[in-house]
Amino acid sequence: MKLIFMGTPDFCLPILDALKEAGHEIGLVVTMPDAPVGRKQVLSAPPVKKWAIDKGIPVFQPVRIRDEEAVYRLMSCEADIFVVAAYGQILPKAVLELPRFGCVNIHASLLPKYRGAAPIQWAILNGDEKTGITIMQMGEGLDDGDILLQREMAIAPEDTGGSLFDKLAVLGGQSIVEALEKLEAGEIVAVPQDEAKATKVGKIKKELGKLSFEKSAVELERLVRGLAPWPGTYCQFRGKPLKILSVEVRQTPAGEEAACGETIAVSKNEWLVATGEGALSLCRVQPAGKKPMRIEEFLRGYRVAPKERLD
């Protein structure tokens, strides 16, 4: 098929590789405009733009995809289908109706669950045992189009937002190649989503990473994994921010009582903190202005006292 690909972040790169390796003609890559990145706010090209330039594929970066000149540029490409993944703009009806096979979206959840932004992180935060990829025929609503194909994936106990992101990007590439093959052969039957089972999730905000030790140890462990590597999780220790990079859930030792956030037990290689239910063993942390370190390294320098508190 001749296609236009629309996407922006590095989640798209394994998908683009899969499409190219499968022999599809990518006539145009559409991505968001270059934007400031990092503390120094250096103007940087999106990952998808860098990929396209490296492959010699034309790039289009409209500020507004719904503008007349943008629609005309897409129409002039005469693509069979538009493939969309984490693009960053809502496609208007004028764009959705351009290609003969319409526009299909690669969504990183098993729709209708987790419509909207950040479905990967929310699957971990909510303790789901599985997630997956949905290839969906796009309409004017938010992730509510008919399902063309779904592929499931188990969420491993050690998965973080970052590791699951990488796995689903690969699965997304495999799934869209399969879907395009079946779509072209007329072998796909579109299935409407069950609106009664639909759930929506919003963008992840940095404030979500502030740990509240009144929550259970299980909830806190999910937060630490789900928000890694961004925005990360943190608390206050001795009046300064302490990033919490990895933790393990523990049972509260018999006979030990402590307020939420207080140190239950501390040794040269373990720091056990009380939570609303159960205890949390801190495994890797990063003090303000320091490098990430394993807990035994941290404890050598900071000599945590029994009952000392994290806020």
Total count of residues recorded for the chain = 311
- pTM greater than the 0.85 cutoff: yes
Alpha carbons 47 and 9: distance in angstroms, whole number: 6
| Confidence at residue 257, expressed as pLDDT on a 0 to 100 scale | 80
Alpha carbons 286 and 281: distance in angstroms, whole number: 15
Place of tokens 């098929």: 1
Q: Where are the domains of the chain?
A: 2-201, 206-302
* Domain spanning 2-201: CATH 3.40.50.170: yes
Tokens of 231: 């925005």
Task: Give the closest residue to 82 by CA, choosing from 62, 102, 52.
Answer: 102
| Confidence at residue 39, expressed as pLDDT on a 0 to 100 scale | 79
| Confidence at residue 255, expressed as pLDDT on a 0 to 100 scale | 73
| Confidence at residue 233, expressed as pLDDT on a 0 to 100 scale | 98
- Cα distances (Å, whole numbers) of residue 37 to 32, 43, 48, 108: 13, 6, 15, 24
Largest CA distance in the chain: 73
With a cut of 50, list the residues of the chain below it in pLDDT: none
| Confidence at residue 253, expressed as pLDDT on a 0 to 100 scale | 84
CATH architecture of 206-302: Roll (3.10)
Q: What percent of the chain has pLDDT over 70?
A: 100
Tokens of 237: 């220790």
Tokens of 44: 């940087």
